[in-house]
A and B are shown apart, each in its own frame.
Chain A
Amino acid sequence: AQTVTQSQPEMSVQEAETVTLSCTYDTSESDYYLFWYKQPPSRQMILVIRQEAYKQQNATENRFSVNFQKAAKSFSLKISDSQLGDAAMYFCAYRSQGYSGGGADGLTFGKGTHLIIQP
């Protein structure tokens, strides 16, 4: 079974600065998908970014980018020019390639990192 580890329960950053959230995962698969989701106080889960393991290029969405290191099984999220609205819980998630049944077809989440933005 795959596991996802977020080693930073909480991070704090000054507004306009850059912060990096860490995520590592354990898998024996070669093809898979990785995600970062944001959960603000409203509780809504919001997709931040998606990475396909077969793509070497790191995904980017505006101020959000990832550093995907497949050999190291690492998938960190970098937030540039942090804004007050970025304050939230951030979850890293893993998804296997293809349908395998037996309960393996959802996302496997880490426990989250609480990001605080200091004004």
Chain B
Amino acid sequence: DAGITQSPRHKVTETGTPVTLRCHQTENHRYMYWYRQDPGHGLRLIHYSYGVKDTDKGEVSDGYSVSRSKTEDFLLTLESATSSQTSVYFCAISEGGQVTDTQYFGPGTRLTVL
């Protein structure tokens, strides 16, 4: 258990509404990640963070923004949700202080956009 929690665990929202997902970790890990999982695609990287206020884009970043104002929290925001963003979202951390350390995942958030 890498001490990662995600909230909410499930959310149903409507197209065009803003949505924020929260990832919280308790062990002061430097590197944090957001992935999405869709059938037939495995997991794909959305954004990642390498420190407070330091973030960068991943493979599928369009339509998403992130913020990290403190070490323990990494927020993923959908400014205007679309049906194509219906997915399961996973947060992850790199254990240890190196970006190449093994990534451990939170329990996931299932988001449905109607």
Contacts and interface: CB of A to CB of B under 8 A. Distances in A.
A109 B44 CA distance: 7
**Count class of interface residues, chain A:** 20 to 34
Nearest to A42: B107
Interface string A74-103: 000000000000000001010101110111
B64 interface: no
Interface stretch (B15-23, B52-60, B78-86): B52-60
Given A43-B88, A45-B105, A106 B42 contact: no
B114 interface: no
A105 interface: yes
Given A47-B104, A105-B50, A112-B42, 16 more contacts: A33-B100, A37-B105, A43-B107, A91-B42, A91-B43, A95-B103, A97-B100, A98-B99, A103-B45, A103-B57, A103-B61, A105-B48, A106-B35, A106-B59, A106-B103, A110-B42
Interface of A: 4, 33, 35, 37, 43-45, 47, 50, 91, 93, 95, 97-99, 101-103, 105-107, 109-112
